[in-house]
Each structure stands twice: as C-alpha cells, then as structure tokens.
Structure 1
Amino acid sequence: MSDARDLLPVGTDGLTTEEAARRLASYGPNRPPPAPRRTLAASIGTQLRDPMILLLLGAGTLTALLHDLPDTVIIAAVVVFNTVTGVVQEVRADRAVAALRDLAPAHTHAWRDGAVVEVAAADVVPGDRLSLAAGDVVPADGEVLEARQLQLDESMMTGEAVPVDRGPGEDLDGGTLVTRGRADVLVTRTGAASGLGRLAALIAASPSPPTPLQRRLSQLSRILVGVVGALTAVVVVIGLAQGRGIAEMAVVGVSLAVAAVPESLPAVVAVALALGAHRMARRNAVVRRLPAVETLGSVTVIASDKTGTLTEGRMVAERLWTPAGEYVVSGHGYDASRGGITALGADGAGPADDPGLPRLLRDGVLCNDALLRGDGPGTTVIGDPLEGALLVVAGKGGLPADGTRDAWPRVSEVPFDHETRRMTTVHRPRDDAGARLTVCKGAPEAVLGLLGGSASAARAATAAERLAAEGYRVLAVADTRDPDGAEVWSLAGLIGIDDPPREHIPAVVEATRRAGIRLLLVTGDHPATANAIARRVGLVGADGEPPPGTVLARVRPEQKVAVVEDLQGDGEVVAMLGDGVNDAPALKRADIGVAAGLGGTQVAREAADLVLLDDNLSTVVAAVEEGRRIFANIRAFLLYAVSGGAAEVGVMVAGPLLGIVQPLLPAQILWINLLTHGLTGVAFGAEPADPSEMSRPPRSASASIFTRTFVRLLALAATLLVVTSLFVGVHASTEPHVQRTAIFLTLGLGQLAVAWAIRARPERRTGVRGLELALVGAAGLLVLGTLVPLLQELLGTATPSPAILAAAVAGAAVPGLVLRWAVGRERRRSR
C-alpha cells in the first residue's frame, strides 16, 4: 500500500467527500482484517486426527463389535466432548482478532469539504486530516501535522508506562489515547496496514501450540497401539497353535486389546482438567482452554509484561524531596484516603516539622490541569496521569485538590512546551491578601536552571539523579511570590513518580523461585525503569542486580512473539503474562497466555488461556500447583491402568504355559476392565496434591511419561499381578471353571490394590476420599460377579469357596503392599 503522502496533496481543507469515498472503495474500511473463516467440517476433522482420538475410535469400534454397550457409550461421549472442546477453542482464536475492533473508536473528527465534521472511524482513509483532542482514541496510524501540548498514552500498544509527548512530523499509532493537548494528524495507514491491523495479523499467524500433556498423550497412543497390537497377535497365535478356533481367538484378541487400552484415559483427563478449572474459578481465575490448567504444571519460564501486570498500571507519586527532608508515600492507586507520607530514615524530619512539604504539595496541585473523578478505590484521573499523581499525593498529605484550587485561583498560564520542558501557572489568593503566586514544574534540569547556582539547586540536582537511577520519573517544582515580578525563583522540591509494583508480586517471585521457575520481565518500557521494578520485586542476583537476560526492555509486540519462540526453541514451556493489545500475539503464541481481567484489554483476554479476574498474580502460582497436581494424578492413573492391562495380557500369555488353557474369558476381561477403568479411574482426577510438588523443579516438556521410575513401578506392578493371579489360579483347583474364577478375582482385586498403593497421600488428610469409595464399590461389584447367578451366567464364573475367596484377597493384597513400599521409597528419594 502506498503512503498517504504520495497521494493527492492535503491542505487545511482536508479531503472532499467524493475523494474520501473513492479512497474508501480503494483501501477498504478502517478495521482490522477479519480472521480466516474455518468450516465446521474442517475443524471437526482436525480434532478427529488426534492420535488419542483415533485410538478411542478404534476401541469404540471394538466394543461395539463385542456388543459392550456401556463402554461404547462412554467412549463415544468422550470423543464428542473432546471434539466439541477443540472446535470451541478454534473459535476463541477468531474472537481474539475480532476484539481488536473494539479498540477503534466508533467516531472521530476529520476535515471534509473545508470543515471539521464527525465521521465513522471505519470510514477514515489514508490522506484524511483528523482533528484530535484530549480523550480521543487515535483511529488509525498517522503523522502529526500540527500539535499543541500533545501527549499520548501508548501503553496498550507499546508497554511504555509513562505518557509520551508528540510533535509535528512524528508518527502516531492507531489505538493510542490522547491524554493532553490537541493535534491535526495526517492519516497514513488504515485497516490491515495500520498498527492494529498488523497486530491482528500477528495474532492470526500465531498458532496455539499443543500442550505438553497433549504431546505426551500422542506419544503414549502410538506406543500403546504398537505394543498392544503385538501382544494381542502373540496371544491369538498361541491359541491357534493349541487348536482353538479362529472365531474364538478373534474374540479373545479383541477383548485383550480393549482391556489393554486405557480408553477411559481421556475421560480421566477431562474430569481432572474440569475439576482444576473449577478450583481456579473459585480463586478468581477463568480457564478459557482446559488443557491450559495442566500446561501450567509444566511451565519452566514465566515471561511477564511490566505495565499493569507486575505494576499497578497507574502513575503514583512515591517519593518527595524538599530542602529539609525526604519522604516516602504509602498507599496504592488513586485512592487518596489510604496511605500517607512519612520521613525517610530515622533521622529525617517529620512532615509536621517541614513547612516546605505542604508548599510542595500545594504547588503540585496548582500547576496542574488534571482532574480526579470518583472516591476511594474507584477514583480515576482525567488528563495527564503524571499530573493526576500530584493530586493524589496532595490528598494523602491533607491538601484536597478542590480546596487548594479554590484558595488559589489561576489567573494565567504558560502551558508545557517541548522546548522549555516546563509548565508555569500564576495564581492570586482568594482573599486578594498578599502577592500573586507563580509556580513552575517540569524536568529537573529545566526547573533547576531557573535557580542559578544556588546550593539548594545543586543538592536537588544530586537528589534528582539518585531518584532517576532508582527508576522514578522526577519532576522539579519551584515558585516565586516576588511582588515586583522579578521572578526570583525558590525551590519547592522534587517529586518521584512511578508505576509501582503490585503488593503481592514479591511473594509471587519468591514462590516461582522455590518452584524452580524462571521469571522474566519483558516490556516495552525504558531499561532503567524495567531494571528498577525488577529490583523492587526481588528479581535480583547475589550482587543485588537483575541477572543477565532476566529483564528485556524496549521490546516491540512482534519481538515479544520472537522472545516466546526463542524460549520454546530452547525447550522451555513458556507462560506469558500481559494485559495490553501489544501482548496479545505473544499471549496466543505462548504455551499458556495469562491475561489481567480487571485492568487488561479485551484483546488480551480473548487471546489468553487463563484470565485473572482480580489481577492477582499469586493466582498463577496456585494454578501452577494445580497443573502439577493434575499431571501427577494422570500419571498415577496411567501407571494403574497400563500395569493392569499389561497384567491381563501377561496372564493370557503365561497361563497356557502353566497348563491353564484359557485363564480368562472375554466377558471376564471386559468386566474387570469396566470396574477398574470406570469410576475408579475417573476418581484419580480428583486426588489432592502432594504438598512437596511446589518445592520441586518443573518437569521437562520433552520428557516422556515413561520415565525410568514409571517403567520400574509399572513392570513391578504388572509382574506381581501376573504371578499372584496365576499362583492362586493354579493352586485353587484343576477345574478350568474354578481356576478362571480364582484368577478373575485375584487379578481384579489386585488391580484395585495397586490403585490404593499409588494414590496421592498428602501429609495431612482427613475423611474418606472419592477414590477410596470407588475402590470399595468396584471391589464389591467384582465379588458380586462371582455370587449373583445372572452375573455368573454372563461372566462364566463360579461361586468361590471361602478358601478360594480368602486366597484371592490375600494374593491381591501382595501387589498393593509391595507397590506401596516401592512408591513410598521413590517419593522419599524425589523429595
């Protein structure tokens, strides 16, 4: 697209209505580009290609062939749930782009046919001459033609916390807010070519990566398909070699395949994630994508924006300096009723002992164009946020703005100027008693220059440099009441203004450090400001400075995406925290995006996976713990389910070698599978967290579920189940019918004992948990399968004698007891 300055010359009269219409037809409406439309069929097809879903479809086909209606219905429900969830998440991505439209104002003012008229923001075209004033949102990218005291809040686009001044010849980004002054602006880029349009393209081009859990489950699916297929083939071949019929062995093979595949795994995962999301909702965090809860448990790096995320997103006066003392201002936000002013250091003069402090506060109110609206925590600033900070600190010092201004009406002013870098106002006493008061505020070097070479000016210059080094935006204030108008200036003091960190952030930093998670500060703000905030929240090394690479400043939106991608390329699992439009592409590209819900933009919320309703980042630490709990429970279920399936296959392979022709019938295998993988498996998702989880380093995103410890415990459990089941079966009787019943009971109860052994055991536990109730219920149903005549006929079991029942219970207890000892040893070793 060509630049607007290459088009027809633009004068003070702006475009004609006809020319504006022609350009609108050529360039299109001034809106971010719409998200690419996906057909419903394409979205569903994408979800059904997932390996675990394919595995489920295969298992569902097998259960349907076996007329196993309960398992078929459960599998179908899980497939539908997962598919619908995935399609919904694709719709979310489209909403993130659509939310950018909300940033553009509905209307703006442009020169058309020689007059300033109101036009729809969507109808703004390159070459338009806009007339903007304080409070207006810039509707498109442009260049300043004329300006008077123009100041912009660009934090939503750049992350820069402090409002910036703009003058003729400088560029403006669409979506920024005019906080002060007026300007005529030449529109240079609209729609897809504008800053908002480029952000929309970044969001659309940033795919949401698969979560670590999804990658692990895909790997697991491939392994299970291969192993189960091979073992099932072995069993079928052995049966055929023994002279059994093809049809009979086909049923046995299908039954084993169903038993060995943990088809309830997606249900367990879905329940665990849903419960985690429910817990997070109770802690003011809305989970927009269920897998995101588990992803937090794998996070190794948290890359956080500064403005509005680590900080309050408000300019607050925190330090005051007068020739007689230095003071710290307490309280947060714009609520002047909370907080106060105290002397810095034990030897400093108290506020009551320093007459210069009320003078400094008074001057800050008078040389000021901002207004406060509202009361208490709901107070907002109209105008320059820096000037709003001066009004708030005066209120904390007992000088309300309205009363102070009433006592000193303004009679003239010299507005802030880019050249002089200061503002001057003249006031008279309300009672006309005494000389007029002239106040000047601005950059320290500009104001202190009015004082000549006085000692107080030299001291103030040193103090200003120190405050600036600490990350403060420093304003100097001077006044004069010379009745002769000679303007003999006297220094009132300095005011250090900052966007302070939120109260809870240092605790969050410490919690992430204990959990082995790196916290990075990624911001568009100035390096000195970013480093100062990093020091204040505890992101420091042994030398008291932020470690190299911990603070990344002056980062543009597209660079934030590159930062996330570089970290992911190094194998890191990245959580990105942000609240502005400039954060949205990185939020979407990160493994998990976390957005502020109160102070953040709709664009950031739509692009995020987790939204903090109270903007409290300590919730992120709780979410990390929740994610680790979920993964631990899923891994425990896999250990339980896969070891049980492997044991069933092992019994069918080893049984004939011991003279047991058919250790288990297909119906018996499916009954065990239903009881062990049903409510018992789902109950694993609700198990509590191990208290030591948050003192361990995060697990590697590339690490397989099948760790050495996992494989050792799985092999131990499966071996014990096979040995004990066949031992009880061989010694129970020589009658095949009775042998199968003994093996059926021992193997089923043994799997439930394994679940008891590996369940989560927090240090403090009261009451009976859902898993324990599920185990008792499953054990009862398993025994009923050998006692109820209808079930005996269905399953092919016989009523066990008391001796066989006791032997089965004793044999089943062995795997549970041994595995509990082994799991306890591994837990002690890991701690």
Structure 2
Amino acid sequence: MTATTNGKTEPAALASALPQGLSAAQAAAALIADGPNALPDAQTRGLLAITRETLTDPMFALLLAAGVLYLVLGDLQEGLILFALVLVVLGLTLYQEGKTERAIASLRDLTSPRALVWRDGTAQRIAGREVARGDLLVIAEGDRVPADAVLLRATDVQVDESLLTGEPVPMEKGVDQPLFSGTLLVRGQGLARVTATGGQSEIGRIGQALGNLSLDASPLKQQMQRLIKVLAGVALGASLFLLLAHGVLRGDWLAALLAAIALAMALLPQEFTVVLTVIPALGAWRLSRQNVLTRRIAAIETLGATSVLCVDKTGTLTENRMTVAELYATPPPAQPATQGRSPSNCAPGERLPINYASTTDLPECFHTLVEYSILASVTDPFDPMEKAFHRLGQRFLQDTEHLHRDWILVQTYGLTPELRAMSHVWRARLGDAHVVAAKGAPEAIVDLCHLDTLAQAHITQTANAMAAKGLRVLGVARARFEGQDWPAIEHDFDFEFIGLLGLADPLRAEIPQAVSEARSAGIRVVMITGDYPATALAIATQAGLEPGGHGLLTGDELTHLTDVELQQRMVSVRICARIAPAQKLRIVQALKASGEVVAMTGDGVNDAPALKAAHVGVAMGERGTDVAREAASIVLLDDNFASIVGAVRLGRRIFDNLRKSMCYILAVHVPLAGMALLPVLLGWPTVLYPLHIAFMELVIDPACSMVFENEPAESDVMQRPPRDVQQPLFGGLTLGLALLQGLGALAVVLLATVWGASQLTEGATRALAFAVLVCTNLALIFSNRSRAGSLWASLWVPNHTLWGVVAATLVLMALALYVPWLAALFLFEPLPLTWLAAAAGLGLASVLWFELLKTINGKLAS
C-alpha cells in the first residue's frame, strides 16, 4: 500500500497509522497566533510605504507647497504643472522601487520550500509559509525542511545542515532529534512534528539577530540631503528678498509675489529628486540584465566606490564542478614502495594523474582508495565532491568487487569543528565485522590514523604538492569493527591510512580578466575559502591575485589575532584560507576600520552578519539562503565574480552620470535664477514668468535624468582608483565649474537681452532672451556629457535619448515662438528669423566658454 501526492510516492509505513495531524481549523488558529511561516523581512516595503517615504522627502514637500500656493493664487495651470511633476517623479519611484521589491520577492518565492503535511486525515501539499506549529510533516529524500521540527519516525535520515553550520557533510538524524528549517534531507524518509515556524525557528532567530547590526547610510544620500537643504534655504531667502525689494521699489505686491514665486521655481532644485530616483533605478535595471539583482538602490553608488572585494572561492571564482584529478595511495605493509612496481604496473607511494579522456585503466593499488572514498560518501550524493567520487568509481570500478551496492549503512559520524572528517560504518553481506570508511581534511585523517612523525611529514608534503596544483585534497582511511557497541568518537576506531584524492574545481574562464580589470581600477580582491592554504594559493595564482609574501591568512592565525592586529594584517592579505563563516564578520570589520569600502560575498546563514556589516553585501542567487539575501544589498544571480566586477563598472558609470547631471542642474539654474531676479532689480521689464520656467523644466527634467543616465561609461572608468566616499559630490572644483558655467550662460542671456531691448519690442526681446536661454541650456547638456573629454569627441558617442530631447526642445521652442496663441500665452511677440539665428549663434558661442572651463578644471584636478 502506498500513498501518492503530487507525483511523489510515500511508503506505506508512513501513510498508515500516522499520529494525529492538525485539522484545517487548528492550522488556521496556529497561523493566526504565530504568523506565517516566513522569514522576518524588515526590508520589504509595499507601495504605501514607498509613497510615504518619497513624499516625506524635503524636495517633495517644497514642490507640493509651491503647487498649493499657485492654487491659492488662482493660477490653476501653474499649480497643475507642478503637481504633474510631482506625480511623474512619484510614479517613477513607485515603479522602480516596486519592481525591485517584486524581483527579490519572486527570487525568495522560488527558493521557499513547499511541504507535505497530514491534515484532516489526508496528505496535502501546501506552500511553505502555510505550515503551522503542530503540523505533521512527511519528508523524503530531496525535500527541504520547511520549519523546525522533531523527528517522530526516521528511516536512514541524513540532513544537509550546511546552511546553519557552513559544512556540506550530511548529519545522521534519528527519532526525537531536531530538524531545522531550510535544511535539506539528502537521504531517507521520516515523519516530523513542527515545533517552530517563521521568526521562532532557528534560521529565523539568526535573521532577527541581524537587527543588531545597523546599515551604513548612503554617503551620497547624506551629501544630497545637505545640499538640498542649503539650496532650499537660498531659494527661500532670495525669494523673500525679491518680494520685499519688488514691493518696496514698485509698489505692486501681487507682481512682487509672482516674481518671488518665479525665482523660487528657478532656484528650487526639484530635479535632484528626479535624478536621485531615475538614474539609480534605471541603473538597477541595467544591473539586472547582467545577472545582478539590486536589493537596495542606494548600494549602487557605494558599489562604484568599492576598494576591497571579498569573494568566496568555490562557485564564485571557480565553477563548483568537482573532478578527481589525482590520486595518491600509500604502499601496503607487505609491499613497500621501495620494492618497485607491482605486477599490475602500479607504484604505491606515487601520485597518479587522472585524465578521463586518456586514462583507460586504474592500477589495482588505487582501487581501494576509490572504493573507500565512495563508502565514506552518501549513496545518492548531492555534494559536487561526493558526486566526483561516484563518477570515478563508475568509470574505473564498474566491473570489480570494489562497489558495494548491497552493503547497509548502520552508523555515521559527522563532521565537527574539532575534527574535519566524517566516517560511515557499513555491514557487509558476508562476514560479521563492520567496515568503517573515513574521509576528510588530510590533517584530520592523519590524526585519526595516529601515524608517526615521519609518516605525517611525508603525507603532509604530498598533500601540499597536490594542493599546489590548485587541487582540493582529501584523505581517506579505513578500519574494521566487531560488534554493535559503537565508539562515542571516531578516534576509538583503529584507522589505517589509505591515501589522498585531489579534486579539481576549474577556475571560471573569465576570472583572470575580471581580476585584472579590478586591479587596474584600484580594487583589491581578497579570496576567502575554507580550503587548504596551498590549494587557495594555487587558485589565487591562476586567478592573478598575486598574494605575495604576507598575503595569506589562515583561520587558525586569525583566531589568535586581536582586532588591531587583524586590521594591520588585512592591509596586505589577499587570501584567507581555512576560514569559518563566522570569521568573515571580523574580516569585514577589520577592513572597514582601515577606511576601506568593502563588498563581501556569501551564501549561508552564518555569512549574513558579514554581508550586512559590509558596505555592499553580495548574496549568491543560485546557492544562497533567504537570510543571506535579506542581509545583502545585492544578489548575484549567476554566482560569478566577473558579474561583480561588471557591477562595479556600472556603479562607477552611474556615479559619473549622477555627477554630470548634478553639475548640469546647478549650472542651468544660475541663468534661470539670474533672469528671474536681475531684470526686477535693474528696473527692466520682467523677462521670465512662471510659465517660461515651467517650460524650461520640461527640458531640464528629461535632460538631467534620461539623457545623462543613458550616457555610456567614460573610457577610463576602470583605470581610476576608487573614489573617496566622503568626498562631496559637488566639492571644490566640481562646484566651481558648475557655477562658472552657469554664470557664463547668464552673461550670454543678459547680453542678448540688452542687445534685443535696443532694437526690438518688449515681447520680441523676451522671446529672444527665451530662445538664447534654451540654446545655452542645450549647450550645457552637450558640454557636460563627458567628464574630461571634449565636446567634439563626445558628439560621436551614441546617445539616442540626447538627440530626441534636443529635437523635441527645438520643436517646442519653435511652436512657443511662432504659433500665435502659444506666443500670446508666453507673452511673446514675433521674433525675426535672423534674430533666432543669432540666438542659436550665441548658444554655440557659449560652448567655447564651457569647454575652456572644463579644460582648466581638468588640469587643476590632475
């Protein structure tokens, strides 16, 4: 008799005589009391939360206040224009932030386990978040445990708890032993009662503990908040001054109020909010196309400033595809190595390279080594290393007596922090003695075998030689045991050392180029691994990390270093070997204490504190845990180091484009503010009214966001050292360049206004000043496209959005100048085409001034 659910067949032993499960009503009550079985996620935000955060931004408050003031004055058109701008920016923010939240939620849902439970007397397959405390779980090989539980029945149950322990070796589980949420059943089947769900589970408590580590605020966000407050204060002060000056000098307080509002619109930097929303959000979209999912938008600009990349070796630098590449078998006592080769052409005590393409036969003396490596592994492996042992056996031992599919596993000893080795005890079909197979780190196996000093030195030398080739080296041992009274620890078995296996995990082909690119960008790459130091050194050499004399730090050394000593060591370290997951946090903190901007990769639960402490936490998307993703600000969907370097390149491009856009915004607001203020103070007719400035905003908004966001990376973007995150976005020379550009544009517009006033009517003069203002605005866009290159060179760099904005601007300007009803709305009078050509000429002439300023700025900066 069997029970089948969703294509999975459960044994009759589990489908009959089950303990009582929950009823639907009991499960619903438990879910109400405890909440859904999901990890606590303080970072998840709905649309209402995002809207509330956006509208509380100081710039949005100023925009809304200005719009309300227009409505109070009865100018519905101007008020609606301002509110439309608010809605456009808010819509972009909601769309981009919402898309990011939905993407990470989808990734989380994909990795969330489903569960088979007994409710109301039937087996039901439900979503993992619907599992309730008290539920009866039916689990089988390949299932992920959806909640903490205790085993009621167990048949040969082995569980991979690497998400919690960081070790890939399965743990044997029996009746009354606990199972933990998120762990994987790699063998057997069982029945378990749920004891804790969601935040009350072991993995949930670790997630909650992350709250003790605060996230670093984005340096750019802090700088922009300060700048916006300063500019808002300037706008308020200047507007009040103009209101009083105009009212006192001319006695027309209503006109004074309109002039003050126009000046406030000219000075209010509402584009900053647009830029800080659109450019990073579109950058996040671009990153997603490179297999990098942005968890928090603010991390993008920090990523571009990264000075140290801490990366895992396995799966990030390598392919995580293990293959046995070399064997070493010790000579048996009856046949020492000094007696030469055996009749089977085998030389025990020598190393044998394995090439699956050319190696056809495996010498007899290596058969036992392969046999016991398989016996020390699970029957149906999931770990790449154990899969490699099975493939080797199927390739070379298929028709020999060394494969034991009929043997029964009766006892296991798991990997522990004290002993990095595991053992399996088997009962053979013939004979009374049990066979014990052990595998693990060479030093651990040597310790189990209690070898003398000379033998230990020889094996260590051999292991180092194999590891120097970049191989992951494991030792194998065997023992025999009579009876059923199993020893409490593995050391009580009389183990005999068999040999070593070297596994190759190929370096990803693109890694050397990515490492070279990171080095040219001034970024130090630190490889972190739990592997043998010699293996780590070999892989680092292949990757081009160049560790040097003091570039290696082991976990044992780290344990004995104080925080200050570790900080000093990490200045030169390139490789961290034999590192436990919990030690990553100390590495991050030491690097941060030295002033580095740190990006850290990780996948396990124990990696989460380090991911959150780093400036940029990078979680693995393929093999990472939910807790790691929640702690990280970026999720690497393909687990590839080259994608991280690509993300750094894009982060630098985004910051460059932000700076270009901000420089343009400051520069373009100078002539706007000047032409709103100076004509009033000089007694001239008013040149700019609110509608003129609103028109300019229609040009400025897409220019500062879409045009500059679409600019490709500068040619030297990955040849510069990382920028100082504490350096202001508009500090010193950058601010000076923007102001001088703006003053130059203002001078050109004032010159045109004086010239036009001497020969044209008031309306035509206003039209001329407006046309020149539009042309100088376009000139500012072109000049600020490149950080250091000339405008003429940048003309050949493709940017379709730029030409679209330029064309739309010129068409709209022509309509405003020459369509009668629009010209009347703008208070324009017909402008002769010769004067329009002169306006275009003045705009082109202003480019020479902008380019001269940029050249001088570049020389001063260098």
The answer to whether the superposition gives a TM-score over 0.5 is yes
Deviation at 1:79, TM superposition (A): 2.2
Q: 1:769 aligns with which of 797, 800, 812?
A: 800
Equivalent position amino acid for 1:750 in 2: T
Q: In 2, distance between residues paired with 1:498 and 1:809?
A: 67
Give the match for residue 67 of structure 1. Answer: 77
Corresponding residue of 1:320: 327
Answer yes or no: is the 8 Å Cα contact 1:145–1:183 preserved in 2.
Answer: yes
Q: Does structure 2 conserve the Cα–Cα contact (< 8 Å) formed by 1:192 and 1:198?
A: yes
CA gap 1:518/1:288 in 2 versus in 1, 3 angstroms? same
Query: Residue 47 and residue 729 in structure 1: after superposition, are their counterparts in 2 closer, same or farther (change >3 A)?
Result: closer
Amino acid in structure 1 at the alignment position of 2:472: Y
Give how far 1:466 is off.
5.1
SS of residue paired to 1:695: coil
- CA drift of 1:248 comes to 0.7
- Give the C-alpha shift of residue 564 in structure 1: 5.9
Deviations 1:676-730 (A, max 9, x none): 4345753222111112112223333333221212211111111111212212222
Determine the structure 1 residue equivalent to 2:337: none
What amino acid is aligned across from residue 78 of structure 1 in structure 2?
A: V
Q: 8 Å contact 1:473–1:496 — kept in the other structure?
A: yes
Q: TM-score of the superposition, structure 1-length normalised?
A: 0.74
- The separation in 1 between residues aligned to 2:718 and 2:753, in whole angstroms, is 45
CA distance in 1, matches of 2:764, 2:754: 10
The yes-or-no answer on 1:475 pairing with 2:446 is no
Structure 1: unaligned runs, 5 residues or longer: 1-14, 109-116, 330-338, 343-350, 372-380, 430-437, 481-488
The Cα offsets for residues 625-675 of structure 1, whole Å up to 9 and x where unpaired, read as 222222222222222222221222223433456553434344333333333
The match for 1:378 is none
Q: Which residue of 1 aligns with 2:769?
A: 743
Letter in 2 for 1:718: G
Assess if the C-alpha contact under 8 Å between 2:159 and 2:186 holds in 1.
yes
Pairwise CA distance, 1:493? 4.2
Give, as a single letter, the amino acid of the residue that structure 1 aligns with 2:351: E
8 Å contact 2:161–2:184 — kept in the other structure?
A: yes
Corresponding residue of 2:636: 612
**Which one is further off, 784-793 or 261-270?**
261-270
CA distance in 2, matches of 1:168, 1:293: 48
1:464 paired with 2:463, answer yes
Residue 512 in structure 1 maps to residue 518 in structure 2 = yes
AA aligned to 1:751 is: N
Deviations 1:724-746 (A, max 9, x none): 22122223333544443332222
Instruction: Quote the offset at 1:195 in angstroms.
Output: 1.8
In structure 2, what is the Cα distance between the partners aligned to 1:770 and 1:18?
Answer: 62
Deviates more, 1:819-828 or 1:709-718: 819-828
Partner of 2:842: 811
Match 1:363 to one of 354, 371, 394 = 371
In structure 2, do the counterparts of structure 1 residues 171 and 326 end up closer, same or farther at CA, with 3 Å as the change threshold? farther
User: 1: distance between equivalents of 2:282 and 2:34?
Assistant: 47
**Corresponding residue for 1:797?**
828
Are 1:197 and 2:196 counterparts?
no
> 1:776: how far off?
3.9
Q: Aligned partners of 1:726, 1:588: CA distance in 2, in Å?
A: 53
Who is 2:699 aligned against?
A: 675
Cα distance change of structure 1 residues 145 and 658 upon mapping to structure 2, 3 Å threshold: closer
User: Aligned partner of 1:75: which letter?
Assistant: V
Alignment of 1:67-86 (within 5 A): 67-68=77-78, 69-83=80-94
Q: Which amino acid aligns with 2:836?
A: L
Report what 2:729 is aligned to: 705
Change (3 A) 1:46 1:654: closer
State how far apart, in whole Å, the 2-side matches of 1:50 and 1:691 are. 35
Q: Distance in 2 between matches of 1:566 and 1:244?
A: 66
| Contact map agreement 2:133 2:195 (CA 8 A) in 1 | no
Is 1:786 matched with 2:789? no
Q: Does 1:694 align with 2:718?
A: yes
Q: Are positions 1:284 and 2:291 aligned together? A: yes
Mark the CA change 1:81 to 1:447 in structure 2 (over 3 Å): closer, same or farther: closer
SS at 1:723 equivalent: helix
Shift of 1:49: 1.5
Give the corresponding residue for 2:668.
644
Contact 1:594 1:611 (8 Å CA) reproduced: yes
Deviation at 1:250, TM superposition (A): 1.0
In structure 1, the partner of 2:265 is 258
Q: 1:580 to 1:56 in 2, by over 3 A?
A: farther
Aligned residue for 1:785, secondary structure, equals: helix
Would the alpha carbon gap of residues 354 and 749 (structure 1) be closer, same or farther in structure 2, given more than 3 Å must change? same
Q: Give distance in 2, aligned partners of 1:741 and 1:501.
A: 65
CA separation of 1:202/1:308 partners in 2, compared to 1, >3 Å: closer, same or farther? farther
Output the CA distance in 2 between the equivalents of 1:392 and 1:666: 76
Matches of 2:808 and 2:103, distance apart in 1: 41
2:250 aligns to what SS in structure 1? Answer: coil
SS at match of 2:475: strand
Tell me the distance in 2 between the aligned counterparts of 1:383 and 1:243. 85
Q: Is the 8 A contact 1:160 1:524 kept in 2?
A: no
Q: Distance in 1 between matches of 2:702 and 2:536?
A: 52
- 2:268 aligned partner, one-letter code: V
- Superposition deviation, residue 247 in structure 1: 0.6
- What secondary structure sits across from 1:474 in the alignment? strand
SS at match of 2:205: helix
Q: Helix, strand or coil for the counterpart of 1:694?
A: coil
Query: 1:82 Cα deviation (Å)?
Result: 2.3
Q: How big is each residue's C-alpha offset from its partner over 1:317-345, in whole Å with a ceiling of 9 and x where there is no partner?
A: 3443354643566xxxxxxxxx7478xxx
Distance 1:199 1:706 in 2: 41
SS at match of 1:58: helix
**Partner-residue secondary structure (3-state), 1:691:** coil
Instruction: Tell me what 1:664 maps to.
Output: 688
Q: 496, 500, 506: which is aligned to 2:502? A: 496
Q: What residue identity is the alignment partner of 1:740?
A: R
Q: Matched residues, percent identical? A: 30
Identify the residue that residue 236 of structure 2 maps to in structure 1: 229
Aligned counterpart for 2:756 among listed residues 727, 732, 746? 732
| AA matched with 2:77 | H
Q: Distance in 2 between matches of 1:51 and 1:744?
A: 30
Partner amino acid for 2:812?
Answer: L
Q: Is the 8 A contact 2:373 2:437 kept in 1?
A: no
* Count of residue pairs brought into register by the alignment: 761
In 2, the alpha carbon distance for the partners of 1:439 and 1:95 equals 45
Asked if structure 2 preserves the Cα contact closer than 8 Å seen for 1:366 and 1:439, the reply is no
Q: From the superposition, tell whether residues 568 and 520 of structure 1 become closer, same or farther in structure 2 (CA, over 3 Å).
A: same
- Is the CA contact 1:297–1:627 (under 8 Å) kept in the aligned structure 2? yes
Q: Secondary structure at the match of 2:733?
A: helix
Provide the alpha-carbon RMSD of the alignment: 5.4
C-alpha separation in 2, matches of 1:464 and 1:162: 21
Paired residues of 2:477 and 2:498 also in contact (CA < 8 A): yes
Contact 2:138 2:192 in 1 (8 A): yes
| 1: CA distance, partners of 2:513 / 2:183 | 33
Alignment of 1:40-59 (within 5 A): 44-59=51-66
8 A Cα contact 2:310 2:600, kept in partner: yes
Letter aligned with residue 772 of structure 2: T
> 3-state SS of the aligned residue for 2:726?
coil
- The CA distance in 1 between the partners of 2:422 and 2:774, in whole Å, is 82
Letter in 2 for 1:778: T
Native 8 Å contact 2:274 2:701 kept in 1: no
Q: Alpha-carbon deviations, 1:394-435, whole Å to 9, x = none?
A: 56xx53x6x346886667688776599766889999xxxxxx
Q: Residues 614, 406 of structure 1: CA spacing in aligned structure 2 closer, same or farther, 3 A cutoff?
A: farther
